[in-house]
């Protein structure tokens, strides 16, 4: 094994022309592996950002048609496993200000849940002695033309309006305006805050990581409720992965050409070593080791450089983006150990295929033909 390693290392630092192709292959594989990790980390960053923002308002899981009497088992399970959850009443209502009217989703929650469960980014708030108050999204506040301290009329969506009957409504004081990076929440959600117990609860929201096989017909994750959005991000991640994998494929072609060049240039040396008793299988191992010396080193360097950049980006915010478009002013980047391992293994398998192609030509190598054609 030591001899095989020494010969492979000798081939690695061969003539200048071979060194040039070695360098090209090394840089190509390094750039390919680094690009894969950086691109996947950006997509992960935005996906995690989306997940976090959704959970701030909607939780990680929800039970839409929740009944406090028939769904006791769910509550018992959550209590036994120390899950954080919020019971609320969710309904469609018609809201009216002095300038506009909109149909929105009204979530009635108690004051304790607002602070312990929901993580709303309150951008403007006032204190109030009213029993029932409202907190609305900044986009909806802009459309309605209201601010904190203003009053908002809320009508039930099931009202039947005629020329004679004036529908009943309730008037509430707006005590807070929140901002959320999910525009659906900003423009369509109103929180009605109860200081006392909520009546007619019909909705349950849960935070944390829950086994989705438990109560599968009842509990829905945010991924299921936003299936199209989640699948779109997953498809984008797959397309990006396959596209950038082409960089490694092209670099593997260069590595394959380098091995063919070495075999051609070192045909006499190969013949001498074959005469001295070095078998074909050991020769194949020499060139496999040679190829993997370049590829493994370049992949490790690509991973190290990309991970260092991700660390610097998350620590110091090197790349700034436009907050009005992307909802954040610093490019989010996240990568997991499992994803790095998958990228590393797929790259090795792909490169190994292109290394094997020229190595197979050694099977047709015959000592007698080489000596005759000297």
38/67 same-domain check: no
Which of 151, 177, 208 is the last residue in one of the domains? 208
Residue 213 lies in a domain: no
- Specify the pLDDT at position 364: 59
Is residue 299, in this structure, part of any structural domain at all? Answer: yes
Identify whether residues 239 and 366 lie together within a single domain: yes
Q: Does a structural domain hold residue 222?
A: no
Q: Are residues 180 and 253 in the same domain?
A: no
Which of 149, 173, 208 is the endpoint of a domain?
Answer: 208
Q: Are residues 86 and 204 in the same domain?
A: yes
For position 38, what pLDDT does the model report?
A: 92
pLDDT value at residue 273: 64
214 falls within a domain: no
> Is residue 36 situated within a structural domain?
yes
272 and 364 in one domain?
yes
Whether 216 maps to a domain, the answer reads: no
Residue 136: per-residue pLDDT = 92
pLDDT tens figures, 329-364: 888 999 999 989 998 898 888 888 888 777 666 555
Which segments of the chain have a pLDDT < 50?
Answer: 161, 163
**Domains identified in the chain, total number:** 2
Q: What local confidence, expressed as pLDDT, does residue 267 receive?
A: 66
Residue 69 lies in a domain: yes
The answer as to whether 223 is a domain residue is: no
- Please check whether residues 366 and 233 belong to one and the same domain: yes
Under a CB-based contact definition with an 8 Å cutoff, are residues 36 and 245 in contact? yes
- Domain containing residue 81: 61-208
* 194 shares a domain with 108: yes
- Report the pLDDT value the prediction gives residue 196, as an integer from 0 to 100: 75
Tell me the per-residue pLDDT of 126-146, one tens digit each, with 9 for 90 and over.
887 777 789 999 989 988 989
The half-sphere exposure of 229 on its side-chain side, counting CA atoms within 13 A, is: 13
């Amino acid at each position: 094994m030591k001899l095989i390693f020494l010969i492979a290392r000798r081939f690695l630092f061969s003539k200048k022309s071979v060194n040039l192709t070695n360098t090209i292959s090394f840089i190509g594989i390094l750039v390919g592996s680094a690009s894969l990790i950086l691109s996947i980390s950006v997509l992960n960053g935005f996906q995690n950002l989306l997940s976090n923002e959704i959970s701030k308002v909607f939780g990680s899981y929800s039970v839409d048609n929740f009944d406090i009497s028939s769904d006791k088992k769910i509550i018992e399970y959550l209590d036994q496993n120390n899950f954080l959850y919020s019971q609320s009443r969710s309904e469609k209502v018609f809201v009216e200000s002095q300038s506009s009217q909109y149909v929105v989703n009204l979530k009635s929650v108690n004051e304790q849940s607002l602070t312990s469960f929901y993580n709303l980014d309150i951008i403007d708030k006032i204190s109030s002695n009213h029993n029932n108050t409202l907190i609305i999204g900044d986009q909806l506040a802009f459309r309605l033309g209201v601010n904190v301290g203003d009053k908002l009329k809320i009508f039930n969506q099931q009202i039947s309006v005629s020329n004679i009957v004036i529908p009943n409504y309730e008037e509430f004081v707006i005590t807070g305006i929140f901002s959320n990076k999910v525009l659906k929440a900003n423009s369509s959600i109103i929180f009605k805050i109860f200081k006392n117990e909520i009546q007619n609860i019909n909705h349950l929201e849960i935070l944390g990581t829950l086994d989705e096989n438990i109560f599968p017909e009842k509990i829905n994750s945010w991924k299921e409720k936003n299936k199209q959005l989640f699948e779109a991000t997953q498809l984008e991640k797959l397309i990006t992965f396959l596209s950038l994998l082409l960089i490694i494929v092209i670099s593997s072609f260069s590595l394959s050409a380098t091995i063919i060049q070495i075999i051609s240039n070192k045909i006499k040396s190969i013949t001498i070593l074959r005469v001295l008793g070095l078998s074909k299988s050991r020769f194949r191992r020499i060139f496999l080791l040679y190829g993997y010396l370049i590829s493994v080193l370049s992949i490790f360097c690509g991973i190290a450089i990309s991970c260092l950049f991700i660390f610097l980006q998350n620590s110091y915010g090197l790349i700034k983006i436009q907050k009005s478009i992307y909802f954040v002013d610093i490019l989010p980047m996240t990568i997991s150990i499992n994803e790095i391992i998958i990228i590393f293994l797929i790259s090795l398998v792909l490169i190994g295929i292109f290394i094997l192609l020229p190595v197979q030509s050694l099977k047709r190598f015959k000592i007698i033909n080489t000596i005759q054609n000297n």
